[in-house]
Amino acid sequence: MCVPDRALVRVQDLTPEKADQLIWLRARIHTSRAKGKQCFLVLRQQQFNVQALVAVGDCASKQMVKFAANITKESIVDVEALVRKVEQKIESCSQQDVELHIERIFVISQAEPRLPLQLDDAVRPDGEGEEEGRATVNQDTKLDNRVIDLRTTTSQAIFRLQSGVCQLFRDTLTKKGFVEIQTPKIISAASEGGANVFTVSYFKTSAYLAQSPQLYKQMCICADFDKVFCVGPGKKSSHHVLPPCAAFTLVRSLRCFQTEIQTVNKQFPSEPFKFLEPTLRLEYTEAVAMLREAGVEMGDEDDLSTPNEKLLGRLVKEKYDTDFYVLDKYPLAVRPFYTMPDPNNPKYSNSYDMFMRGEEILSGAQRIHNAQLLTERAIHHQIDLEKIKAYIDSFRYGAPPHGGGGIGLERVCMLYLGLHNVRQTSMFPRDPKRLTP
Amino acid sequence: MCVPDRALVRVQDLTPEKADQLIWLRARIHTSRAKGKQCFLVLRQQQFNVQALVAVGDCASKQMVKFAANITKESIVDVEALVRKVEQKIESCSQQDVELHIERIFVISQAEPRLPLQLDDAVRPDGEGEEEGRATVNQDTKLDNRVIDLRTTTSQAIFRLQSGVCQLFRDTLTKKGFVEIQTPKIISAASEGGANVFTVSYFKTSAYLAQSPQLYKQMCICADFDKVFCVGPGKKSSHHVLPPCAAFTLVRSLRCFQTEIQTVNKQFPSEPFKFLEPTLRLEYTEAVAMLREAGVEMGDEDDLSTPNEKLLGRLVKEKYDTDFYVLDKYPLAVRPFYTMPDPNNPKYSNSYDMFMRGEEILSGAQRIHNAQLLTERAIHHQIDLEKIKAYIDSFRYGAPPHGGGGIGLERVCMLYLGLHNVRQTSMFPRDPKRLTP
């Protein structure tokens, strides 16, 4: 490794306690402004930045000031500098109480002079500064240049929150005795069918991409792992699944990420996320009644369309003042074949969805643990039994009653933050038209 | 959920403190032996088991004893039973100091009478009991019936250790400020080439399965995430990659899993894993010299064949008494195009592998962070630049010097435990001939 033989200080640690110390720092040139015999730089590390100054004098020649002024934005530099307390707070930087007086500067990695997008434009709220002719950056340009777009304070906050959420979920489950498992990504048969089945060439044959780890999670339950979870790509290629019992803890704990939430809100303002404790639980029949009262025509066993889910979200918010609730006891007819029927009413099932701001984040259920009932339900759903043989066979040698579900990490982050496009919470999103970067 | 309205006790909590209490328990029938007016059962939960007794008397009729005796092995039952201290330890069970006197028994899930394999056979060490005509179970039968095979104490120990290792790695990295990222599983171009490229049908076009998250990890470094990791399927479909700096912590911490290690050793005896602190670091030139001294003919810049890696492992063990070491400074010619050349000697590179018991578990390096040098090296390796455009472009707008690597979770577990087949540490392994279960 090309590690310099000097201790590098972090920008976030540049506080008045470091005043009058000579330090080394590795950071990006965020902005640069030459002014006579001086050059003002803003040096950035992730969401932190500090003002720095190269001025003609004892430590810097005219040439050095010129050299510094010519370093392209986004380049990475090493600087040796004196930390100086400032009298007036520097409002535009995260480190407001100090500035750096640069004595030496080295370019570690030079950025090309024309950036495909400007970071300041990429974090500008829609509409702001339009009159002054300031630009914003459209979503496709951002995604085409994702590596630069991810450097903005908004992106840094989103993905640090996402990493934190993931960790929080895992810790919650591990403490409850869950075992983390790794499920196969390539399977022999597209057991759940559906439209978006991805075929994979596999040595001399062909196979399918696993759309969901669910069947394997259940097989692990049959294999005595008792409580299992996995984190990985979910139903859609941009989903990640986390188990449901962690969802309640999650919603409570998301409040810890205030800094990240506020950073994202600066660019994308949203209403604060509200929820009740204990969590509101509605039954499907109640939801249907609420929708009918609002003028929706639907049968008792009809599924909820996305617009109706959103309408229901608004009705629930009005009535109960919560952005988070569980909708329980879905009609059996609208759920997958492995869903346990309600023993008290065969038209319904022991299944539920969880909603955030009117959109589904989690789908869960008690699963059928009896091979014969499972076979009957699969036949009823016209599923090719041969394709799910290994799955059904798992229940033949003693299977404990169990339930579970999958939660979309990216959707949770999107909805909690009040964003409107899951690509914003997917680091390198994929859709039918996008396969790069 | 079909949750009984009674508190269920765990088998592992059945200790003499519970003596004379009436408890409810949900467990599997591990073995069953009827003997006159009594039926002895062993009830199992994961790696724990307890002896239980149904006897004709106040609480049980002759019919009930017969009913209990007829419950098939591996069925799941709920029992209400009195905990009784025993005078003589029950050596064959994990709970040696108590037994259960069953008053009521319900079958929750009945196993089919013919099991595809016997758990006792599946955990028998190779060769043991051969004279008495006792069977062992071959690997394919085990894998074909993985859900049952995973119930054995050996499998339970392996995968609980694996889950623990995963958690340990994540905790180590999170504490060091690493951000967990989710990288795309489907990519537009098989950037690293190689023989085992999996093509995926993708809507109206075709794409490839990502073989390694490495390029995306590097792109995240260029996107200012500073330190990143991801856990997911690696180079081969059965690999999982974890970053290298956690490797040293790992090796130290693996010792915590003594119970699991001992359980696995009962079936698969192995030498205790030895390592030095600090970890032994050898340079490639020293390794070549050791191999030549042992009679191997090889050039300075030749790669190590697998047999030579294993031989080197034995030579290192003899000389340094360690099963774990780092081999540093590989010849540039045998490493991938993105590897940073050694600035002091262009024939070598800033790259390394880590070995456990003579087999590679981790491959890492300083990566090139300069777009021009990266382009030159890609051309030298005859890689189609168009296919890695997004990757190379990531380095054009300022890229920090960085390094990293990927570690195979399943290989680490296999080698640390002294096992010889990675299928044993892969829950649902895939290979050219196996796509199920």
Q: What is the pLDDT along chain A (437 residues), one digit of tens a residue?
A: 445 567 999 999 999 999 999 999 999 999 999 988 999 999 999 999 999 999 999 889 999 999 999 999 999 999 999 999 999 999 999 999 999 999 999 999 999 999 999 999 999 998 787 778 888 899 999 999 999 999 999 999 999 999 998 888 888 889 988 999 988 888 887 665 554 578 888 888 888 888 888 899 999 999 999 999 988 764 443 344 555 666 777 888 888 899 999 999 999 999 999 999 889 999 999 999 999 999 999 999 999 999 999 999 999 999 999 999 999 999 999 999 999 999 999 999 999 999 999 999 999 999 999 999 999 999 999 999 998 999 999 999 999 999 988 888 899 999 999 999 999 999 999 988 998 89
CATH number of this structure's domain A155-425 = 3.30.930.10
DSSP B41-63: EEEEETTEEEEEEEESSSS--HH
Q: What is the enclosing helix (H) or strand (E) of B416?
A: helix B409-416
pLDDT at position A236, please? 40
Contact A185 B185 (CB under 8 A): yes
Neighboring chain A residues of B216 at a CB cutoff of 8 Å: 427-428
Q: How far is CA B189 from CA B61, B233, B363, in A?
A: 70, 18, 23
Q: How far is CA A330 from CA A160, A286, A353, A364, A365, in A?
A: 35, 11, 8, 10, 9
pLDDT at position A264, please? 96
**Nearest CB neighbour to A370, from listed B109, B202, B395:** B109
Is domain A8-109 given the CATH code 3.30.2420.10 in the classification? no
- The candidate with the shortest Cα–Cα distance to A252, out of A269, A277, A216, A235, is A277
Q: What is the pLDDT of residues A234-275, one digit of tens each?
A: 444 334 455 566 677 788 888 889 999 999 999 999 999 999
Neighboring chain B residues of A159 at a CB cutoff of 8 Å: 179, 181, 225
pLDDT at position A194, please? 52
User: Are residues B208 and B199 in contact, defined by beta-carbon separation less than 8 angstroms?
Assistant: yes
**Helix ranges restricted to H, A52-152:** 62-69, 119-122, 139-144, 146-149
User: Are residues A229 and A173 in contact, defined by beta-carbon separation less than 8 angstroms?
Assistant: yes
**Nearest CB neighbour to B75, from listed A148, A398, A401:** A398
Model-wide pTM > 0.80: yes
User: Residue A181: helix, strand or coil by DSSP?
Assistant: coil
Alpha carbon distance A398, B32 (integer Å): 15
ipTM at complex level: 0.92
- The candidate with the shortest Cα–Cα distance to A433, out of A209, A200, A144, is A144
Residue of chain B whose alpha carbon sits nearest to that of A409: B182
Contact B26 A400 (CB under 8 A): yes
User: Are residues B104 and B65 in contact, defined by beta-carbon separation less than 8 angstroms?
Assistant: no
Q: Count CB atoms within 10 A of the CB of residue B344.
A: 8
Q: What is the enclosing helix (H) or strand (E) of A241?
A: strand A241-242
**Nearest CB neighbour to A112, from listed B199, B224, B396:** B396
- The candidate with the shortest Cα–Cα distance to B160, out of A172, A178, A168, is A178
- CA of A87 to nearest chain B CA: how many angstroms apart? 31
Contact B115 A170 (CB under 8 A): no
Taking the alpha carbons of A222, A227, A233, A238 in that order, is the dihedral positive or negative? positive
With left for phi above 0 and alpha for psi between -120 and 50, is residue B321 left, alpha or beta? left
Residue of chain B whose alpha carbon sits nearest to that of A27: B400
Domain parsing of chain B, residue ranges: 8-109, 119-151, 155-425
Contact B150 A111 (CB under 8 A): no
Residue of chain B whose alpha carbon sits nearest to that of A205: B432
Contact A185 B183 (CB under 8 A): no
Phi, psi of A283 (to 5 degrees): -95, 155
Pick the residue of A159, A329, A435, A436 with the most B CBs within 10 A to test the interface with B by mutation: A435
Tell me the HSE value of B38 on the side-chain side, using a 13 A CA sphere.
Answer: 8
Neighboring chain B residues of A393 at a CB cutoff of 8 Å: 147, 437
Residue of chain B whose alpha carbon sits nearest to that of A75: B398
Residue of chain B whose alpha carbon sits nearest to that of A177: B160
Q: What is the enclosing helix (H) or strand (E) of A354?
A: strand A351-356
Q: Could you state, in chain order, the average pLDDT of each consecutive group of 10 residues for chain B (437 residues)? A: 72 97 97 94 96 93 95 97 97 97 97 96 87 87 97 96 90 90 84 67 87 90 93 51 67 89 95 93 98 97 97 98 97 96 96 96 94 97 91 97 89 94 94 89
